[in-house]
Structure formats: C-alpha cells, structure tokens
Structure 1
Amino acid sequence: MKLEKNCIDSQELSGMDREIALMLQKNARMPFTRIAEILGVSERTIRMRVAQMQESGILSLVGVINPIKVGLNVQTFVLLAAEQHSLEEVVAQLKEMDEVRFVVLITGEYQIFAEVMTRSYEDLSQWIIQKLNKIEGIQKTNVMPVLKKMKSSYNFVK
C-alpha cells in the first residue's frame, strides 16, 4: 500500500491504536462500545487507549465546521514577506485577527503563510485595507482567494 506524504505509517501506532484511530477518523462519534465490539476488547480498553492517544497529542476529537455553512464564503491564502526583525511581531498581530485561521512560518521568498476566511470579497478587501496593510514590517504580500476547493482531507492515518 502506497502512503501519502505526511500520513502516519501504521508502524508508528500499535495495531490496536491504529485501528481505533482509523475508525474515529471515519466517524469521530462512533461509540467506544461499538469499537470494542469490532476489535474484540473491552470498552474500558478503548476508553483508555483513546485517552492515551489524546494525552500524547496523537488524537484530537473535534467537530469540523463547514465554513460556508456559517457564512464564511471566501477562503484566501496570503503569503507575506517581512523584515527579519519584525517577523515575530507580524505573526503576533496576525494571530490576533479573527479572520486569520492558520499561520505558519515557511521558507523561500515569503516567510509567512496565512489562511484567511471572510464572509465576502468586500470583507476581504476591508480586511486587507484596514488590518493587513497597517501591520508594520511587511515588505510584500501575495493575496490568493480560493476559486474552488478541489480536495480537503483530514485522513492522516492510512
């Protein structure tokens, strides 16, 4: 079986933990009693294994909200080049903005990548003018609204 890049190899999780993770990845609301029944172990064992995976940071059980269904219709990727001495302050300001959902440091021509969600293109324009352009230390940006999402996956265990 060919694994996608950045997927956890089955060797990194024990057999049972891998099976539990696969089931919860497909249906995070699957009852532990059902998982225990499928794997032939006690519900207590499943509860303990899930708790261990959560404590170790391997597993998080969260609800994934469809942004469009809550009115966030415009997804935008933003690349930012910043002055080296301003990098941490630029990131700190981006992290405080409600519109910014994701921020990482990257290599290359730009040092920062951010994902921004807004209700409309007008809101995106206002965010750029009223917030982004006021951050000192940004040398240049590349603002890329998403035209069409082609793939979105949360399946990291294969």
Structure 2
Amino acid sequence: MAKRYRPHEIDPQVTALLSENPRLTNKAIAAQIGVAESTIATRIKTMSENRIMRVVAQRNFFTTGYGIAAWILVEVSGDDTSAVAEKLATFENVTGIGLVWGNFQILAVVAARDYAALSQFIHEEIDRVPGVKRITLDINLRFLRGQASFAEIPEKPDMKAIMAMGSTDEQITALLCHDGRSTNTRIARALHISESNVRQRIARLLESGAIRLSVVSHGTGSSEIGFVRMAVLPAKLKKTAALLLESSKVAHLSLTTGEFNLCCILNCTDRDELTRFCTDHIQCLPEVVDADVSILVKGVKARTDFFPPEEPL
C-alpha cells in the first residue's frame, strides 16, 4: 500500500526533467538537481505509487482503430452539469471530459473511426443525453503538438486481462502503459519471457513510433489549464502556429476545421499567468480575428493510453 503523499520541493523538478526525457536515469536526474540518486528513486516511486506523477507508454492514436479526433464543447440546460459530464464519460470513444468555465460548461475529446462514425456518434449518442442543449464541434486536421500533461494515472494493471492479450507486443505495451519505467527484468518475469526478448521488442516499438513514453501528472506542476480556440487569417495560420509552438505553456496545438482553425491547450501555473498568455501571446496578434477561451474547472476523464502523432509545420 502506498504511503500518504507528502510533497517534496524537488518533485516539480523531477517531473519537469522526466517530461523532457522520460527515459532519463535516476543518476542523471540526481546530478542535475544536486541530490542523492536514492532520493530521486524514492521521489519517483512515491509519486508513482500515489498516482501523482508517472511515466507511461502511449499507443499511436492511428493504430488504435481511430482515424479522427474532435473537440466538442457542450452547453447544458439546467443545473446538473456534472451528471451530463459523467454520462458522456461512460462512452469509450470519449477520451477526455472536463467541466469548464466559459461560454460552455463541458469540454469533451471524442475519437472516431471516420467522419461517418463521428457524425453517427454525435447524433445518436451525444444529442440524446438528457441535459445537452447545444454543442460546437472542432475536428482536428493535423496535430502539431500533443503532450500528455495532466491525465488519469493508471491503476494497478489487470494481469489476467494482459495475459489474455493476443500478442507479446500488446502485453508489453499494456504493462508499460501502467509504468513506463518498469525494468526489462520485471516485465520479463511477469510475462515469463527472456529479458533480451523484452528489450528488443520495446526498442522496436519505440523506433517504429507504435508507442512513446510520456509523463502524466497531477498536482506537481500547472494548476490552471485553458482550452483556446482561435480563428486565424488563413494566410497567417502557419506563422501563428509556429509562434505558439515556441512556448512551453502550449501543451497541445492542432489545426482544426470549423468556425475556428487553430486550437490549443495551455498549461499555466495560475489564473494570472493564463490571462497574461492569452492577452500577450494570442489576443494581441492581428492575425487572430477571434478567440474563445474555456478554463478547466474539474477533470472528469482523461485517457492516457494513446497519443496523437505530431506533424511538422
């Protein structure tokens, strides 16, 4: 059983370093921060066991059976916003749900096989959820950045389900989705295969882009998250996207179709920083003709088991 989490002053530094390089060794992290290697090992273990921060593997989005992803903002009729969000969260292809403050009350991320499947899901499922008054849809055309950042930390893996999977690669990936820093020895022992087999398979999965390692965290870094939709002059879209990609505050950036053609998620330390970023880096740009900001109030669901492959501008 995990001990009660007590924050340590180096936890944000450890998280930041692992976010830059999830495969960084404890020894390298210790050298950069200036503490003992055993201290780093303890902090990573403590944060992982308490589901505060963990390195996890993520599958390539386009290898999971999905072909498109969309942002959906929901306006709710009545006062039972939480009940509507909880209902939407029960759908498997709703990969993220958050309660937001702004022109809408709920932000959902929806994955679908194709446009026909997305349309069917919206009209036959979302539109029929009691309390859904109106929605707006922004379909991702191209992912420019897609960091895991804040999401649900996986529970203990279901070994019975993992052992029933059809291939060794799937089994290894499932274990890494729970703990991306699990050793080859530990994985080999769990699957009853050789350590060299595990090492070769992980190397191949990473090199092929089938999986990547990322940090998911809660409570050690940003505390204010904003979802920003922008209508940018088409001729200036590439330039605007490049400017936003220069900032580490931009955790996600994608080209979209709809009323807005550029969407991003901002990870900021507090409301003031979020406000300053929107004012100084978005609204001041003459090529941004309109912008809509929703501030995350509460996360309801956020899957970590896949990632959107990033494409260069």
Q: Please tell me the TM-score bracket, short chain as reference.
A: 0.7 to 0.9
- In structure 2, the CA distance between the partners of 1:89 and 1:32, relative to structure 1 (3 Å rule), is same
Q: Structure 1 residue 70 and structure 2 residue 64: aligned?
A: yes
How far the C-alpha of 1:152 sits from its partner, in A, is 2.3
Q: 2:43 aligns with which of 46, 49, 53?
A: 49
Report the counterpart of residue 97 of structure 2 in structure 1: 103
RMSD: 2.8
Amino acid of the structure 1 residue aligned with 2:132: I
Separation in structure 1 between the aligned mates of residue 124 and residue 146 of structure 2, nearest angstrom: 30
Separation in structure 1 between the aligned mates of residue 40 and residue 132 of structure 2, nearest angstrom: 49
3-state SS of paired residue (1:123) = helix
Report the counterpart of residue 301 of structure 2 in structure 1: none
Report the counterpart of residue 82 of structure 2 in structure 1: 88
TM-score normalised according to structure 1 size: 0.74
Separation in structure 2 between the aligned mates of residue 28 and residue 46 of structure 1, nearest angstrom: 14
Alignment gaps of 5+ in structure 2: 1-6, 150-220, 223-247, 249-313
1:1-158 matched pairs, under 5 angstroms = 14=9, 16-36=10-30, 42-54=36-48, 58-154=52-148
Q: Which moved more, 1:110-119 or 1:67-76?
A: 67-76
- In structure 2, the CA distance between the partners of 1:154 and 1:87, relative to structure 1 (3 Å rule), is closer
Q: Which moved more, 1:142-151 or 1:46-55?
A: 46-55
Separation in structure 2 between the aligned mates of residue 49 and residue 149 of structure 1, nearest angstrom: 33
Deviations 1:92-139 (A, max 9, x none): 110100011111112233111101011211111121122112111111
Q: How many equivalent pairs are there? A: 146
TM-score normalised according to structure 2 size: 0.41
3-state SS of paired residue (2:96) = strand
Deviations 1:17-75 (A, max 9, x none): 45433332123233334544666654422211212334566522222332123232211
Amino acid of the structure 2 residue aligned with 1:85: D
Separation in structure 2 between the aligned mates of residue 138 and residue 105 of structure 1, nearest angstrom: 14
- In structure 2, the CA distance between the partners of 1:22 and 1:140, relative to structure 1 (3 Å rule), is closer
Q: Which moved more, 1:32-41 or 1:133-142?
A: 32-41
Q: Which moved more, 1:115-124 or 1:104-113?
A: 104-113
How far the C-alpha of 1:154 sits from its partner, in A, is 4.7
Structure 1 or 2: more strand by fraction: 2
Alignment gaps of 5+ in structure 1: 1-11
How far the C-alpha of 1:143 sits from its partner, in A, is 1.7
- In structure 2, the CA distance between the partners of 1:54 and 1:106, relative to structure 1 (3 Å rule), is same
Amino acid of the structure 1 residue aligned with 2:45: A
Amino acid of the structure 1 residue aligned with 2:115: Y
3-state SS of paired residue (1:44) = helix
